[in-house]
Amino acid sequence: MSTISRLPGIVTTDHVFRVPLDHASPEGEQIEVYAREVVASGRERDDLPWLLFLQGGPGGKAARPLGRDTWLDRALDDYRVLLLDQRGTGRSTPATRQTLARRGGPQEQADYLARFRADSIVRDAELIRHRLLGADKRWSVLGQSFGGFCTLTYLSFAPEGLTEAFITGGLAGLRSSADDVYRAAYPRVVRKNDDHYRRFPQDVETVRRIAAHLAGSPATLPDGGLLTVEAFQVLGMMFVGGSGSGALHYLLEEAWVEGPVGPELSDTFLAGVQARLSFAEAPLYAVLHESIYGQRSVDQGGTAWSAERVREEFPEFDARAALETGDPVLFTGEMIYPWMFETDPALRPLKETADLLAARTDWPDLYDPARLAANTVPVVATVYHDDMCVDTADSLETARAVRGLRTWITNEWEHDGLRVSGGKVLDRLIKMAHGEA
């Protein structure tokens, strides 16, 4: 029986669906997928159109609303919203170091997780649509970041389920390999570093001091994780959002404390670093991150720890060399590296599994360019001009490849614009889709 809850301005209903682990074998193993229905208070019985929300990630659970906040406030004016915990996340059958240990060794775990990409997520969504709405009713979809990648997969393989599609910061390159993605990404991250150091020039020396300390003596984080100089550089993930540079600066401000034998990294700093580097809450983000670019028709399908390999082409990210030359130490961005499965306790048991996924070359294609070229579903997308996560050139090339897709290109917001704009980003897209903007 579904559980109904009331929060300020909203009514939520829990739904749990049994779906095949492998949709090609519908009679085989089943897993659970959880979704939370949200409707504005007082409109529970209204015949509203449905909006499926596909969260960014991969491996991220849907937001937990506390009321009519962020983009949800605007969505509830027009829609009944379904927040999907994509397979393996949140209240869906979880995939973590703890649960995966029950499935056997690394090969069994890798084979299991190979079914957790966008193609399976879309097939889950279609099965849920049939059960919740009925086969003859369509719904709208809103895809944020990786959720936008999933939306392109939806448009490729099941467009008959969609009334319209909204994409924010998630127009993937249809035929971009992982190497292509990271070769374009590293220069963008350099620019983000330049922006940060122009805004906070005092951080140049602060970062160099911390990096020098860690290069000689890695620190232990509260959870037992290891903070190496390379792990410290990963704090550049904070540049993803518009306020991330400021948040990083404030974190660095409290890096040092005077200990019994001299300056040492503060507990406050180490706890803040752990909160941003640990994958305990979203291990699939690390395990599956590069696999979202794997396609059989692209570069033989494999990823082979692309971010690590391509990084060698950008020596400016070598922190130890920068310490010797006196250059600023650069942070990296939205990249996953194999050594993370040694430094992060939540990932250590999954190291061999992640290596097997990185070596996999038989990934099926996620997009159908021919079908997208003949698309008839109204699609509107926000392309953030300064997006660190998704390449603008790739996004615009994809926009041209999808028939009828309309873009709004803006530098008013960054990758987190959907969440932080107070509904403005979604409002603009809805108006575009409905001919009002």
- Which residues belong to the active site? 145, 362, 415
In this structure, the strands spanning 256-259 and 4-7 are unpaired
Q: Tell me which H or E stretch contains 82.
A: strand 80-85
Would the CA dihedral through 430, 431, 434, 437 be positive or negative? negative
Residue of 164, 243, 256 lying closest to 208 (CA atoms): 256
DSSP output for 188-224: HHHHHHHHHHHH-TTHHHHHHHHHHHHHHSPEEPTTS
CA 154 to chain centre: 17
CA pair distance 373, 367, nearest whole angstrom:
11
Crossing angle of helices 267-277/244-253, nearest 10°? 150
Task: List, in sequence order, every residue forming a beta bridge with 32; answer none if it has no partner.
Answer: 18
**Contact criterion met (CB below 8 Å) for 206 and 255:** yes
Crossing angle of helices 244-253/203-216, nearest 10°? 60
Residue matched to tokens 């620190």: 219
What is the SS3 assignment for 262?
strand
Q: How many helices and strands (H and E) does the chain possess?
A: 19, 13
List phi, psi (to 5°) of 169: 60, 35
> Is residue 28 packed enough to be buried (19+ CB in 10 Å), middle (13-18) or exposed (0-12)?
exposed
Exposure class string for 91-122: b at 16+ Cβ within 10 A, else e: ebbbbbbeebeeeeebeebbbbbbbbbbbbbb
CA pair distance 147, 262, nearest whole angstrom:
48
